[in-house]
């Protein structure tokens, strides 16, 4: 069976924790030639690589130090990748968050700006400079797309629960960004989608989910599998979509 990402060059932002780590592992398992792991410090990127990949595969993961909330950071990242590997085949971003959960009536403009900075600005820096490189590169032989962009957002971007509205506003901006890219470049071989993530079965979730709810939640591996598909040319027929990933949470 051929691997979905054989010989591909992929940027994976947010490759820490169980979900990001599972995604990093799956990228390598699916044949990616290089996975660039941006993080605010080289030490943090290397820690993610060392924690989630065995020694034989760590050379395929490349740490890169950057703060994606800063203007120009995405350009530096995209330039590094294309200078070293000549192309960018896909970008996955699980980065974002860092926003207080609070009622809107108790929030401040600073809270709103933080949500937009940590979510929408990070997505813009992660995807737009890479998009410009993708538009300048050729299709791989037999491929139906020449670049795929995949953002992870959250259910709060669509129907926020109480106290999730400020964070959801930043995530909703990411949804719109991904759909706008898809519409503007639908004839250019660019595939751009957002995966709207429900609850994930990580250890921390056991503190607020009962056993049945935990069993219904998506596993990190299930999240990774969906992200890998949308980062591959196999997803070329799905574009400009908000892909709901709720596993068994179907009520």
Mean confidence (pLDDT) of the chain: 95
Quote the pLDDT of residue 147: 98
User: Alpha helices, DSSP H only, in the chain?
Assistant: 17-29, 42-52, 73-85, 109-115, 122-136, 165-184, 211-216, 220-231
Side-chain-facing half-sphere of 204: CA atoms under 13 Å:
6
Percent of the chain exceeding pLDDT 70 equals 99
Give residue 199's pLDDT band: very low, low, confident or very high (50, 70, 90): confident
Quote the pLDDT of residue 151: 98
Side-chain-facing half-sphere of 133: CA atoms under 13 Å:
27
pLDDT in tens, 102-141: 999 999 999 999 999 999 999 999 999 999 999 999 999 9
Question: Does position 196 have pLDDT exceeding 80, yes or no?
Answer: yes
How far, in Å, CA of 240 to CA of 9, rounded? Answer: 22
Give residue 216's pLDDT band: very low, low, confident or very high (50, 70, 90): confident
Could you tell me which CATH number the domain at 9-245 has? Answer: 3.40.50.720
3-state SS, residue 242 = strand
Per-residue tokens: 111: 């809270």
Per-residue tokens: 26: 């799956």
Quote the pLDDT of residue 251: 63
Percent of the chain exceeding pLDDT 90 equals 86
Quote the pLDDT of residue 1: 59
Give residue 241's pLDDT band: very low, low, confident or very high (50, 70, 90): very high
Predicted TM-score (pTM) of this structure: 0.96
Sign of the alpha-carbon torsion through 227, 233, 234, 240 = positive
Question: Does position 34 have pLDDT exceeding 70, yes or no?
Answer: yes
Give residue 87's pLDDT band: very low, low, confident or very high (50, 70, 90): very high
Closest CA to 15 of 29, 5, 30, 25: 25
Closest CA to 12 of 20, 4, 1: 20
> If you search the block for the tokens 């719109």, which residue do you land on?
176
pLDDT in tens, 153-182: 999 999 999 999 999 999 999 999 999 999
């Amino acid at each position: 069976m051929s691997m979905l990402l054989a010989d591909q060059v992929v940027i994976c932002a947010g490759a820490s924790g169980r979900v990001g780590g599972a995604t990093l592992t799956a990228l390598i398992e699916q044949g990616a030639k290089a996975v660039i792991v941006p993080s605010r410090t080289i030490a943090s990127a290397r820690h993610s690589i060392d924690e989630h990949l065995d020694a034989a595969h760590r050379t395929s993961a490349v740490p890169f130090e950057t703060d994606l909330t800063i203007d120009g950071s995405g350009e530096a990242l995209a330039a590094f990748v294309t200078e070293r590997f000549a192309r960018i085949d896909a970008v996955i971003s699980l980065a974002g968050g860092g926003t207080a959960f609070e009622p809107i009536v108790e929030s401040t403009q600073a809270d709103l700006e933080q949500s937009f900075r940590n979510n929408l600005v990070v997505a813009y820096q992660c995807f737009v400079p890479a998009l410009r490189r993708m538009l300048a590169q050729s299709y791989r032989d037999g491929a139906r797309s020449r670049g795929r962009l995949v953002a992870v957002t959250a259910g709060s971007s669509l129907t926020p629960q109480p106290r999730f509205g400020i964070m959801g506003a930043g995530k909703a901006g990411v949804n719109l960004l991904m759909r706008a890219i898809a519409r503007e470049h639908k004839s250019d071989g660019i595939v751009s989608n957002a995966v709207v993530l429900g609850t994930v079965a990580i250890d921390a979730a056991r503190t607020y989910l009962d056993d049945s709810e935990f069993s219904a939640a998506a596993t990190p591996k299930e999240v990774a599998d969906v992200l890998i598909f949308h980062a591959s040319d196999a997803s070329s027929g799905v574009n400009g979509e908000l892909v709901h990933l709720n596993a068994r949470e179907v009520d």
